[in-house]
Structure 1
Amino acid sequence: MSLDTRVIAALGAVVVIGAGTVGGSIAFASGQTAHSSHRATLTVGNSSIVADPLCFNDGNPLTEDDQQKCQETATQALKDGTLPTSDVVVADMVGVGVSPNVAEKGWWAFTNGGSQGQGGRYSLFSYAKNTTYSGSQSAAKLLNASGKTLVTVVEGDKNSDNPTAVWYFQLNTQD
């Protein structure tokens, strides 16, 4: 028994249409119609948040004025509660990831938490290139005593004072 070429062509068409439908459905369901090449992901325990940079100048370094405006925007967003936010408990593990092209330029991440001996700042990830994930660290070490910890992710060359992109996330400590 052999299959007719028309039957084979029809089966092939069904497979192609089905694959296209599934792919389109996944993109639609995730709400992502276009790929963003500058993203950072905050992972807390088993959940994660993906965000575009709060401050970005089309891949060019941010000027001093841009950086000042960025800090003001972040401060206001923190007050308004509009930063990407995740609940955290001290037993959670926290990590940060970035898109491959961000890793290519270089990046680092830190929080405004940590012990006073660290100056109230905790490094989640020291400057590195070509690495997309910081690794997971204990939330107990990096949280701010106020219960609201700001996580900052910066893209840029470590030899430059002007970053290329900046992301902010907020961690809310739960009891």
Structure 2
Amino acid sequence: MSLSTRAIAGIAGVVVVGAASLGTGIYWAHDAGKPRENVATMVVGTSSTTAAPFCYNDGKPLDNDALSTCLDGIKQARKDGKLPTLDVRASDQIGVGVPEDLAKKGWFALTNGGSGGQTPLAGGAEGDVLTGVTYSGSKSAGSLMSANDVTSVTVVSQDKKTQEYYAVWAFDLNNKTS
């Protein structure tokens, strides 16, 4: 049984198109660059956003001056509306994740909401630092939201043993009523 000229031409065409597609895909993947490093992820319901740390010193601890400058910068970015933002409703579940290397050092997350005005989203009620865990787990947004239009979320990488700070991320959640 022999293949017709049309069948051979058809197979050759499929091979050429497949090779071109593969080559383009490899070029695109190579050209896409490296993923952003040390991003934290804020999850609200089925939506999420990521952010590079607002303050980071290439894996070295942040000194007090750097932390102070960082917090001032976050306040200004919040005022200018330049922080990563998601909409949130009291019925949503929210959580936050951090990169594995910083999770190994330790981290915690707080909102400016809740009954005390500073409610842990990750870490214990006593301000415990999570170690080795990359995701906070999902929490009910209703208990974490502020009474204002915006709930601020601050995520901090802090070494549990040395108490040194390594990174700070900031997110805003737009409080929605429906």
- TM-score, normalised on structure 2? 0.80
1:98 & 1:115 partners in 2: Cα distance?
A: 26
Partner in structure 2 of residue 22 of structure 1: 25
Q: Cα–Cα, structure 1 residues 166 and 22, in superposed 2: closer, same or farther, change >3 Å?
A: same
Which one has a bigger Cα radius of gyration? 2
Q: Cα–Cα, structure 1 residues 97 and 15, in superposed 2: closer, same or farther, change >3 Å?
A: farther
Partner in structure 2 of residue 49 of structure 1: 49
**Kept in 2: contact 1:53–1:167 (CA 8 A):** yes
Partner in structure 1 of residue 39 of structure 2: 39
Q: Cα–Cα, structure 1 residues 158 and 82, in superposed 2: closer, same or farther, change >3 Å?
A: same
1:88-145 deviations in whole A, cap 9, x for unaligned? 11111000011222222221111111103xxx11111112222111100011000111
SS class of match (1:151): strand
SS class of match (1:129): coil
Partner in structure 1 of residue 4 of structure 2: none
SS class of match (1:164): strand
Partner in structure 1 of residue 169 of structure 2: 167
**Kept in 2: contact 1:110–1:151 (CA 8 A):** yes
1:136-173 deviations in whole A, cap 9, x for unaligned? 00110001111211111111202334310000000110
Q: How many residue pairs end up in the alignment?
A: 165
2:28 & 2:115 partners in 1: Cα distance?
A: 46
Could you tell me the percent identity over the aligned residues?
Answer: 43
CA RMSD of superposed structures (Å):
2.8
1:134 to 129, 136, 144: 136
Q: Cα–Cα, structure 1 residues 146 and 20, in superposed 2: closer, same or farther, change >3 Å?
A: farther
**Structure 1 unmatched runs, 5+:** 2-6
- TM-score, normalised on structure 1? 0.82
Structure 1, 80-89 or 122-131: larger mean CA deviation: 122-131
Q: Cα–Cα, structure 1 residues 23 and 49, in superposed 2: closer, same or farther, change >3 Å?
A: farther
1:15 & 1:100 partners in 2: Cα distance?
A: 37
1:26 & 1:173 partners in 2: Cα distance?
A: 38
Structure 1, 100-109 or 144-153: larger mean CA deviation: 100-109
